[in-house]
Amino acid sequence: MGLRSKEEEEEEGSSLALGPYRYNSPFVQVCLIGLVCFCCPGMFNALSGMGGGGQLEHKAANNANTALYTTFAVFGVLGGGIYNLLGPRLTLLAGCSTYVLYAGSFLSYNHSHRQPFVVTAGAILGIGAGLLWAGQGAIMTSYPPAHRKGSYISLFWAIFNLGGVIGGLIPFLLNYHREEAGSVNDGTYIAFMCFMAAGAALSLAILPPARVVRDDGTRATAMTYSNVRTEAVEILKLFANWKMLLIVPAAWGSNFFYTYQFNNVNGLIFTLRTKGLNNVFYWGAQMLGSFGIGYFLDYSFKSRRMRGLVGIGAVAVLGTAIWAGGLVNQLRYTDGKWKGHTLDFKDSGGRFAGPFVLYFSYGLLDAMFQTLCYWMIGALADDSETLSRYSGFYKGVQSAGAAVAWQIDNSKTKLLSQLIVNWSLTTVSYPLLVVLVLLAVKDEDTAEDGESKVPKPSPLPRSADDDRVQEYSGIN
Q: What is the pLDDT of residues 28-48, one digit of tens each?
A: 999 999 999 999 998 888 887
Beta-bridge partners for 2:
474
What tens digit of pLDDT does each residue of 346-356 get?
A: 888 888 999 99
What class, spelled out in words, does domain 22-209+227-440 have in CATH?
mainly alpha
Alpha-carbon gap, residue 17 to 213, rounded angstroms: 11
Beta-bridge partners for 342:
none
Q: Please give the DSSP secondary-structure letter assigned to residue 20.
A: T
Q: Per-residue confidence at 456, pLDDT binned at 50, 70, 90?
A: very low
Residue 72 has pLDDT above 70, yes or no: yes
More confident call, 185 vs 42: 42
Alpha-carbon gap, residue 200 to 76, rounded angstroms: 19
> Are 381 and 209 in contact, with CB atoms under 8 Å apart?
no
What tens digit of pLDDT does each residue of 365-419 get?
A: 999 999 999 999 988 887 777 888 898 899 889 888 888 888 888 788 899 999 9
The pLDDT of residue 119 is 92
Mean pLDDT of 39-64: 75
Q: Per-residue confidence at 18, pLDDT binned at 50, 70, 90?
A: low
The pLDDT of residue 59 is 75
Q: Per-residue confidence at 227, pLDDT binned at 50, 70, 90?
A: confident
The pLDDT of residue 1 is 40
- What does the domain layout of the chain look like in residue ranges? 22-209+227-440
Residue 213 has pLDDT above 60, yes or no: yes
Alpha-carbon gap, residue 117 to 314, rounded angstroms: 43
Alpha-carbon gap, residue 49 to 466, rounded angstroms: 37
The pLDDT of residue 3 is 44
Helices (H), 17-148: 26-39, 41-49, 59-86, 88-112, 115-142
> Are 290 and 364 in contact, with CB atoms under 8 Å apart?
no
Nearest CA among 410, 403, 419, 367 for reference residue 257? 419
Q: Per-residue confidence at 166, pLDDT binned at 50, 70, 90?
A: confident
More confident call, 217 vs 38: 38
- Mean residue pLDDT of the chain comes to 82
More confident call, 339 vs 42: 42
**Residues above pLDDT 70, as percent of the chain:** 84
Mean pLDDT of 213-232: 72
> Are 178 and 275 in contact, with CB atoms under 8 Å apart?
no
In sequence order, the 6+-apart residues with CB closer than 8 A to the CB of 341 are: 348
Mean pLDDT of 155-177: 81
Q: Quick check: helix, strand or coil at residue 17? A: coil
Furthest C-alpha separation in the chain: 86
The pLDDT of residue 469 is 32
Lowest-confidence pick of 92-101, 326-335, 341-350, 440-449: 440-449
Q: Per-residue confidence at 187, pLDDT binned at 50, 70, 90?
A: confident
Nearest CA among 359, 345, 378, 373 for reference residue 449? 378
The whole-angstrom distance between residue 95's C-alpha and the CA centroid of its chain comes to 13
At 2, give phi and psi (nearest 5°). -85, 150
> Are 363 and 270 in contact, with CB atoms under 8 Å apart?
no
The pLDDT of residue 369 is 95
